[in-house]
């Protein structure tokens, strides 16, 4: 294991590490993220991004998918998506 | 604002399962009660499975297998597997010394999601002295390697106090070296054995400030490499922590014998009766047990909390701390700068940390054990 910070790039393939689980919770009727000592309640956009973090979809493809879903242009939202993924990666919720 | 006492509370997010109070280590800051429960009182495997079933049905999302030392229970992997099968997020909180490589593998195969391994110090001899357990440090380093080799995510749990606070930098470096994803730098809290040993553990304000600088610099430096959880000590703070995220709001604790508590130190509060999972359903206890209702929400609050804008942020701080310092659990946590007793608490912390630390009173079973030669 190399101890360096991973930086989000267009071609990165983000995935959820083993200790982070995205799950639908019937008791609260919403999606949740389970991580060590943390329960996150993602908002709609974060959820759409997290659902696409399958280790096979590139950051640009995630952006494209979101742009289609929300009828926005990929250029417009690309930066926000990358920023959110970088933040999730720094906090250990996403692996690149 | 809703009348919280009238409506059913939100389901808890997490349950801490104290499988046993037995532990080979003797840490002087152990948060277990002074009155440790014995092996003969522990719930059996079937009863714990039932607790897990009930917890999942109630809406609990995360289960922390803790103790004492949870690996002292041979049925741990059984219970992990059962919890994982219920869709619960499973976390093991361990001192590690009883684990071997094969067992780490079995726990991983059982579906364990995450391990929190405690370390007492970066200095091997000091680490063993603090834990009151020879050879513990070496074992823990080996265990960390087996955890990583099994592909399990690792958090290094580092309780800090005046005996190791000067080596915080080295402790953080050790976490990186061991391949941990996370580190919890937790200033020791003064409940249970920690309260008994407070004068031996409490750092000076200068030590604390230095430690906070070290952590803040490391957070920046190790961004994307190591995730930090930093628990600051209450005594020098301005506002208290939202203890347990608020009494009876997010968290429940089950003792080895099945008593259900709003937090692990709640048993110190006189006049509260705690019910057992063997006598009443977990959901019933959560919603209706008088011990959970006593400090839930804001109706119980005295001033200055009752009219404070932070009352639903920190929920008045810690009940057990109000009790420990002021003798009354229903007062504002004296860690809060708005408490009329805050200055006295700070003075106490400064005076104790300024003196030579007394010897540790190591954790032990309270009834005298047979004397060893
Ligand atoms: S704090 Fe120390 S003595 Fe207490 S349970 Fe943990 S390892 Fe054992
Ligand atoms: S007065 Fe009470 S509610 Fe306000 S900050 Fe202090 S402890 Fe929190």
The pLDDT tens digits for B44-87 are 999 999 999 999 999 999 999 999 999 999 999 999 999 999 99
CB A23 within 8 A of CB A32: yes
User: Token digits for A14?
Assistant: 């983000």
Q: Is the pLDDT of residue B370 over 60?
A: no
**pTM of the entire structure?**
0.91
Q: Please indicate whether residue B95, judged by its CB atom, sits closer than 6 Å to ligand 1.
A: yes
Q: Is the pLDDT of residue B301 over 90?
A: yes
Predicted pLDDT of residue B371: 45
**Ligand 1 centroid, distance to A93 Cα (angstroms):** 29
CB B181 within 8 A of CB A19: yes
Chain A interface, best mutation among B61, B92, B186, by max A CB count within 10 A: B61
CB B83 within 8 A of CB B17: no
Calculate mean pLDDT across residues B261-273.
Answer: 89
CB B73 within 8 A of CB B114: no
Predicted pLDDT of residue B372: 43
Calculate mean pLDDT across residues B158-170.
Answer: 95
Topology of domain A21-90, CATH: Arc Repressor Mutant, subunit A (1.10.10)
Predicted pLDDT of residue B366: 66
Predicted pLDDT of residue A6: 87
pLDDT band at B373 (very low <50, low <70, confident <90, very high): very low
Predicted pLDDT of residue B158: 95
**Interface confidence (ipTM) of the complex:** 0.86
Higher pLDDT, residue B354 or B369: B354
Q: Does B221 touch chain A (CB under 8 A)?
A: no
Q: How far is B223 from chain A (nearest CA, A)?
A: 6
The pLDDT tens digits for B102-139 are 999 999 999 999 999 999 999 999 999 999 999 999 99
Residues of A in contact with B184 (CB under 8 A): 37
Predicted pLDDT of residue B51: 98
Calculate mean pLDDT across residues B170-179.
Answer: 96
Q: Is the pLDDT of residue B33 over 80?
A: yes
Q: Which residue has the tokens 């008593």?
A: B259
Q: Please indicate whether residue B275, judged by its CB atom, sits closer than 6 Å to ligand 1.
A: no
Q: Please indicate whether residue B185, judged by its CB atom, sits closer than 6 Å to ligand 1.
A: no
Whether residues B223 and A5 touch (CB distance < 8 A) is answered with yes
- The mean predicted confidence, pLDDT, of chain B is 91
The pLDDT tens digits for A15-56 are 999 899 999 998 899 999 999 888 999 999 899 999 999 999
| d(C-alpha B184, C-alpha B182), whole Å | 7
Q: Is the pLDDT of residue B351 over 60?
A: yes
**Ligand 2 centroid, distance to B21 Cα (angstroms):** 33
Q: Does B85 touch chain A (CB under 8 A)?
A: no
pLDDT band at B41 (very low <50, low <70, confident <90, very high): very high
**Ligand 1 centroid, distance to A21 Cα (angstroms):** 29
Q: Is the pLDDT of residue A1 over 70?
A: no
Residues of A in contact with B151 (CB under 8 A): 18
| d(C-alpha B61, C-alpha B101), whole Å | 28
Percent of chain B at pLDDT exceeding 70? 96
| d(C-alpha B172, C-alpha B217), whole Å | 11
């Amino acid at each position: 294991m190399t101890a360096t910070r991973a930086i989000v790039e267009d071609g990165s393939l983000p995935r959820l590490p083993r200790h982070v689980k995205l799950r639908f919770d019937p008791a609260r009727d919403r999606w949740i993220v389970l991580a060590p000592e943390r329960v996150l309640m993602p908002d709609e956009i974060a959820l759409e991004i997290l659902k696409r973090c399958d280790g096979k979809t590139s950051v640009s493809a995630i952006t494209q998918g979101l742009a289609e879903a929300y009828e926005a242009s990929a250029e417009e939202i690309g930066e926000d998506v990358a920023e959110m993924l970088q933040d999730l990666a720094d906090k250990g919720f996403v692996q690149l | 604002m809703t009348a919280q006492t009238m409506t059913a509370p939100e389901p808890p997010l997490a349950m801490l399962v104290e499988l046993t109070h037995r532990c080979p280590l003797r840490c002087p800051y152990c948060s277990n009660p002074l009155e440790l429960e014995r092996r003969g009182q522990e719930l059996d495997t079937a009863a714990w499975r039932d607790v897990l079933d009930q917890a999942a049905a109630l809406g609990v999302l995360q289960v922390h297998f803790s103790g004492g030392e949870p690996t002292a229970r041979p049925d741990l992997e059984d219970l992990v597997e059962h919890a994982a099968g219920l869709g619960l997020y499973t976390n093991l909180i361990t001192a590690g010394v009883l684990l071997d490589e094969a067992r780490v593998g079995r726990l991983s195969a059982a579906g364990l999601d995450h391990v929190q391994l405690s370390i007492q110090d970066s200095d091997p001899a000091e680490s063993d002295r603090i834990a009151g357990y020879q050879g513990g440090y070496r074992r823990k380093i080996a265990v960390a390697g087996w955890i990583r080799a099994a592909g399990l995510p690792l958090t290094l749990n580092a309780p800090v106090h005046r005996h190791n606070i000067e080596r915080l930098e080295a402790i953080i470096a050790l976490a990186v070296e061991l391949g941990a994803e996370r580190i919890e730098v937790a200033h020791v809290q003064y409940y249970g054995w920690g309260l008994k040993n407070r004068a031996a553990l409490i750092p000076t304000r200068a030590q604390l400030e230095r430690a906070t600088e070290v952590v803040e610099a490391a957070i920046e430096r190790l961004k994307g490499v190591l995730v930090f959880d930093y628990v600051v000590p209450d005594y020098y703070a301005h506002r208290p922590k939202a203890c347990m995220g608020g009494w009876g709001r997010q968290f429940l604790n089950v003792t080895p014998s099945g008593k259900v508590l709003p937090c692990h130190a709640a048993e110190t509060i006189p006049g509260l009766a705690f019910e057992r999972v063997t006598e009443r359903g977990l959901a019933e206890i959560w919603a209706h047990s008088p011990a959970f209702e006593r400090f839930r929400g804001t109706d119980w609050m005295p001033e200055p909390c009752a009219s404070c804008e932070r009352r639903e942020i920190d929920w008045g701080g810690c009940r057990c701390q109000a009790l420990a310092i002021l003798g009354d659990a229903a007062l504002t946590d004296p860690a809060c700068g708005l408490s009329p007793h805050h200055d006295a608490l700070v003075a106490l912390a400064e005076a104790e940390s300024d003196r030579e630390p007394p010897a540790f009173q190591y954790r032990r079973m309270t009834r005298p054990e047979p004397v060893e030669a």
